[in-house]
Amino acid sequence: MSENNMENKKDLQNRPVKDRFSGELDSASESLSEALRISFLILKIIMVVLVILFFVSGMRTVAPDEQAIVLKFGKIRGIGESRILGPGLHWILPYPIHEMIIVPVKKKIDFSVNSLWYYQSKSELLQTDKNRINVPKSLDPEVDGYCLCRSESRVGAAASETDYNIVHSKWKVTYQIDDPERFFKNVTVTDDLMPGQTYADVIEGSFSVLLQSLIENSAVTAMVNYTIDQAIKSQATITDHVQRLLQQKLDDIDSGVRVVFMKLVTIKWPRQVDDAFLESFNASQTKPKMITEAETYATNTLNETAGTVAEDLLSVIEGRKQVTDEELEYLWSQVVGQCRERLGQARAYRTRIVESAKADAIYLNNILPEYKKRPKLFMQKVYLDAIEEVFANVDEKIIIQPASNAKSKEVRVLLNRDPNIKKTKSKSEETK
Taking CB under 8 A as the criterion, which residues in 87-146 touch other proteins? 96, 115, 137-142, 145-146
Residues 238 and 231 sit within 8 Å (Cβ to Cβ): yes
Is 336 a binder of other proteins (CB under 8 A)? no
Which amino acid makes up residue 281? Answer: F
Task: With contacts defined by CB under 8 A, name the span among 4-12, 103-111, 268-276, 319-327 that binds other proteins.
Answer: 268-276
Is 272 a binder of other proteins (CB under 8 A)? yes
Task: With contacts defined by CB under 8 A, name the span among 16-24, 48-56, 169-177, 377-385 that binds other proteins.
Answer: 377-385
Is 286 a binder of other proteins (CB under 8 A)? yes
Taking CB under 8 A as the criterion, which residues in 63-82 touch other proteins? 71, 73-76
Count of residues engaged in binding other proteins, rule: CB under 8 A: 134
Residue with Cβ nearer other proteins (24 or 360): 360
Residue with Cβ nearer other proteins (92 or 214): 214
Q: How many CB atoms lie within 10 A of CB 21?
A: 9
Cα–Cα distance for residue pair 332/347, rounded to 1 Å: 13
End-to-end, the C-alpha distance of the chain in Å comes to 133
Q: How far is the CB of 411 from other proteins (least distance, A)?
A: 8
Is 339 a binder of other proteins (CB under 8 A)? yes
- Helix spans in 273-374 (H): 274-305, 310-317, 325-334, 337-373
Taking CB under 8 A as the criterion, which residues in 231-250 touch other proteins? 249
Residue with Cβ nearer other proteins (27 or 366): 366
Residues 119 and 128 sit within 8 Å (Cβ to Cβ): no
Residues 223 and 238 sit within 8 Å (Cβ to Cβ): yes
**Residue 208-227 contact track with other proteins, rule CB under 8 A, x = bound:** -xx--xx-xx--xx--xx--
Among 10, 37, 358, 425, binds other proteins (CB under 8 A): 358
Cα–Cα distance for residue pair 345/348, rounded to 1 Å: 5
Among 41, 45, 265, 386, binds other proteins (CB under 8 A): 386
Q: How far is the CB of 341 from other proteins (least distance, A)?
A: 9
For 111-170, give the DSSP string.
EEE-TTS----HHHHH---GGGS---SS--TTT---EEEEPPP-TTPPPPTT-EEEEEEE
Close Cβ partners of 411 (under 8 Å, ≥ 6 residues apart): 400
Among 106, 360, 381, 422, binds other proteins (CB under 8 A): 360
Among 46, 193, 357, 377, binds other proteins (CB under 8 A): 357
Q: How far is the CB of 367 from other proteins (least distance, A)?
A: 8
Cα–Cα distance for residue pair 396/209, rounded to 1 Å: 110
**Residue 13-52 contact track with other proteins, rule CB under 8 A, x = bound:** ----------------------------------------
Q: How far is the CB of 55 from other proteins (least distance, A)?
A: 19
Helix (H, G, I), strand (E, B) or coil at 96: coil
Residues 270 and 164 sit within 8 Å (Cβ to Cβ): no
Is 158 a binder of other proteins (CB under 8 A)? no
Helix (H, G, I), strand (E, B) or coil at 177: strand
